[in-house]
Amino acid sequence: MLSTRITDLLNQQINLEFYSSNLYLQMRAWCDSNSLEGCAKFLEQHSEEEMQHMHRLFNYVNEAGSMPMIGTIQEPKTDYKDIQEIFELTYQHERIITKEINKLVNAASKEGDFSTVNFLQWYVSEQHEEEHLFKSITDKINMIGMDGKGLYFIDKEIGAMAEKRDAQ
Ligand code: FEO
Indicate whether 147 pLDDT > 90. Answer: no
Indicate whether 1 pLDDT > 90. Answer: no
Give me the long-range contacts of 122-128 (CB less than 8 A, separation at least 24). 122/56, 123/53, 126/53, 127/94, 127/97, 127/98, 127/101, 128/98
| Atom in ligand 1 nearest the alpha carbon of residue 93 | 2
- Among residues 87, 94, 95, 91, the alpha carbon closest in space to that of 144 is found at 87
Question: Contact at 8 Å (CB) between 89 and 137?
Answer: no
Span 90-119, pLDDT tens digits? 999 999 999 999 999 999 999 999 999 999
What are the residues whose beta carbons fall under 8 Å from the beta carbon of 58, sequence distance 6 or more?
A: 14, 68
Question: Contact at 8 Å (CB) between 80 and 30?
Answer: yes
| CATH (domain of 38) | 1.20.1260.10
Residue range 29-52: average pLDDT?
98
**Using a 6 Å cutoff on CB, does residue 17 contact ligand 1?**
yes
Which pTM was predicted?
A: 0.95
**Using a 6 Å cutoff on CB, does residue 23 contact ligand 1?**
no
Total number of domains constituting the chain: 1
How far does the centroid of ligand 1 lie from the alpha carbon of residue 133, in Å? Answer: 11
Question: Which of helix, strand or coil describes residue 148?
Answer: coil
Indicate whether 165 pLDDT > 90. Answer: no
How far does the centroid of ligand 1 lie from the alpha carbon of residue 134, in Å? Answer: 11
The domain of 8 spans 4-167
**Using a 6 Å cutoff on CB, does residue 94 contact ligand 1?**
yes
Question: Contact at 8 Å (CB) between 39 and 47?
Answer: no
How far does the centroid of ligand 1 lie from the alpha carbon of residue 147, in Å? Answer: 30
Give the span between the Cα atoms of 64 and 47, in whole angstroms.
26
